Structure 1
Amino acid sequence: MAELQLKSHRFRAEREADWRRLERLLDRAEKSGVRRLQPAELLEIPVLYRQALSSLSVARAISLDQGLVDYLEALSSRAYFFVYGARTSAWTRIAGFFRHDWPEAVRGLWRETVVAAAITALAAVVAFGLVVRDPDWFYSFVPQALAAGREPHATTEFLRGTLQSGKDHKDGLEVLATFLFTHNSQIALYAFAFGFAFCVLTAVLLVANGGTLGAFLALFAQHGLAAPAVGWLMIHGVTELFAVTLAGAAGLSIGWAVAFPGARTRMDAVMHVGRRGALVMAGVVVMLFFAALLEGFARQLIQADWARYAIAAATAVVWGAYFYLPRGRRRAR
């Protein structure tokens, strides 16, 4: 035991100065940035890193005390990430997300996106037809709290007035936008999270969302207000519905991986699609924030139907071009 302690002491005494030097350089680089290091110091770090690895190998081979081995392992790990790790700024990573990562993830889910959009559209058409034939069906698709007086027994003038709400009441729009962002984000997150239940709950949520849309449109159409109602909904609805559809697509991809993992294990399959789904959902939150601004501000302040349609068309073109237009190949990192 005494001999082992003596070996450890001599080993540390001969090499500790280099370890401490490497530790100080890493501390400075992590706290102040790589640019604060001198060129000679940058060249010194790889040399010290290799020496630390050699010391770690010897320490393990001759069974030195565990505390020294743990210290060298931690130091070598820090140096490894400095020498070999990709060092990019936060702004570079954010730019890479919006330029490549998010659009590529969305394009990778194009099949699921088509399915999610089809489910939503079919539910909207069915709900529209049922409410037109029998207005009592309206309450099967729209909760009374959400209807806020926009119900089959409402007058045409009242319904027309709801399409112009906000023109003379601009105060509190910030609160409305915040509420809408929170509410829509919850729907999108549920659509994604429910995918684990073999796609069933995600599909149900998409059906409910489409049914609500169809029922509202049927209500206004019966009062001759279909065109203004579509403009009122689509000024923000293009972005919002697309975001919820993408969230549903991400959820469907997870549910499909759970049900049919293929050659992978079920856990590996879920992890594979989950990474892509996480990228999509990060972007969906951005889309819903933008939709909340349109719904909380633009829809309330812009009253002309043509302007609402123009904004809806512009957002559709922008999102479609952003996600699906061909772009240059991504440069290797």
Structure 2
Amino acid sequence: MDLDAYQAVHEPAWQRLDELVRTRRRTGAQADELVRLYQATATDLSAIRSAAPDPEMVTRLSQLVARARAAIAGAHEPSWRDALRFVVVTVPAVLYRLRWWTVAVMVAFLAVGCVAGVWVATNPDALAAMGTPAERQHYVDEAFAQYYDPGAGFAATVWTNNAFLTAVCIATGISGFGPLYFLYSNAVAVGNIGGMMAAHDALDVFLSLIAPHGLLELTAVFVSGAAGLKLFWAWVAPGPRTRGTALAQEGRALFTAAIGLVGVLAVSGVIEGFVTGSGLLWWVKIAIGALALAAFWAYTIVLGGRAVRRGETGDLDEDRAGYAVATVG
């Protein structure tokens, strides 16, 4: 396709469509013309995407088609039904599609963390790198437990920080390096602290304080890493789709996971802020964390499996994603 020649022929129609979109009050004839030009421009956009995918032209026409669709159909007004569908269909569908990626990330994370922990616990030089003997003893005896200060402020701080980090992990997924660095650094950090606690005969303290909230919090980390890596894989191996289509579809769906993880991390933050540092018996704390984790996987497998079997992917529907052309009649 000669893009310059194609643009020269169709530019007047595109400009006319833009003019009609900007018009506040349209006559019946103008409304009919708007629909006709919208359909023609959507066809032009499809042709350019497939034959000569110039990024600037595709972006321009995509925006024009989206504005024209909104002018024809009206802006979508969110309702409680949309919010409910997002929670019980869209988010679990994405989490279900990520389940095996999540398990793989979990296994790799725990393996790296265990290796790091054993290395620190059994290697004097690695243990010395964690601080002076006095600093390490203070951390083990006081600082580690004091970090979990019960209260709403602490819970909110933990929640916002973790939600931001998981969103960044997914957002940098296209690089492949971002999620791997995020997961590796966190696995080593957790392993190092566990190893230092074990070297001072306080592994039980470490597990009893990290398990209540960590079961759900680390699962959210695993999901974010899985989402980021899956986005990278969509770019590497798009299958029958073009890379642009694969990235658009998976990107929209996986950012749904980022939004869903905000809720997951909110629950984890509440547990960390009000349960981990509380005076409850250690087994009660861990039972609460285990129950929260079981609820997450039930939500993912039961609701997510049902949604995926119905054909849900977590992506926008075709009309809102820009793949369907509005028609009349």
Q: Same fold (TM over 0.5)?
A: yes
Is the 8 Å Cα contact of residues 213 and 289 (structure 2) preserved in structure 1?
yes
Is 1:106 matched up with 2:95? yes
What is the aligned counterpart of 1:165 among 137, 141, 146?
146
Aligned to 1:320: 297
After TM superposition, list the pairs within 5 Å mapping 1:48-59 onto structure 2.
53-54=31-32
Answer yes or no: is the 8 Å Cα contact 1:119–1:207 preserved in 2: no
Are residues 1:134 and 2:126 paired?
no
Secondary structure at 2:146 match in 1: coil
- Corresponding residue of 2:154: 176
TM-score (norm 2): 0.67
Seq. identity, %: 23
Aligned partner of 1:92: which letter? Answer: R
Tell me by how many angstroms 1:124 deviates. 0.5
Displacement after TM superposition at 1:220 (Å): 1.5
Q: Please give the per-residue CA displacement for 1:19-57, whole angstroms capped at 9, x wherever unaligned.
A: 97xx8xxxxxxxxxxxxxxxxxxxxxxxx98x8745768
Matched positions, count:
260
Q: Which residue is equivalent to 1:245? A: 222
Residues 214 and 164 from structure 1, CA distance in 2 versus in 1: closer, same or farther, beyond 3 angstroms?
A: closer
Give the aligned residue type for 1:281: A
Alpha-carbon distance between aligned partners in 1 of 2:78 and 2:268, rounded to the nearest angstrom:
29
Q: Is the 8 A contact 2:120 2:192 kept in 1?
A: yes
What is the 5 A alignment of 1:1-333? Answer: 53-54=31-32, 80-81=72-73, 89-137=78-126, 153-154=134-135, 159-162=140-143, 164-165=145-146, 173-197=151-175, 199-325=176-302
Structure possessing the higher relative contact order (Cα contacts under 8 Å, 6 or more residues apart): 2
Structure 2: which amino acid aligns with 1:205?
F
Name which one, 1 or 2, has greater alpha-carbon Rg: 1
Q: Distance in 1 between matches of 2:155 and 2:276?
A: 11
Matched to 1:90, the amino acid is S
Q: Tell me the amino acid that sits aligned with residue 311 of structure 1.
A: I
User: What is the identity, as a one-letter code, of the residue corresponding to 2:92?
Assistant: P
Counterparts in 2 of 1:322 and 1:223: CA distance versus 1, 3 Å:
same
Q: Offset at 1:164?
A: 4.5
Question: Partners of 2:168 and 2:229 in 1: how far apart?
Answer: 12
**Alpha carbons of 1:135 and 1:178: their partners in 2 closer, same or farther (altered >3 Å)?**
farther
Contact 1:102 1:280 in 2 (8 A): yes
Amino acid at match of 1:249: A
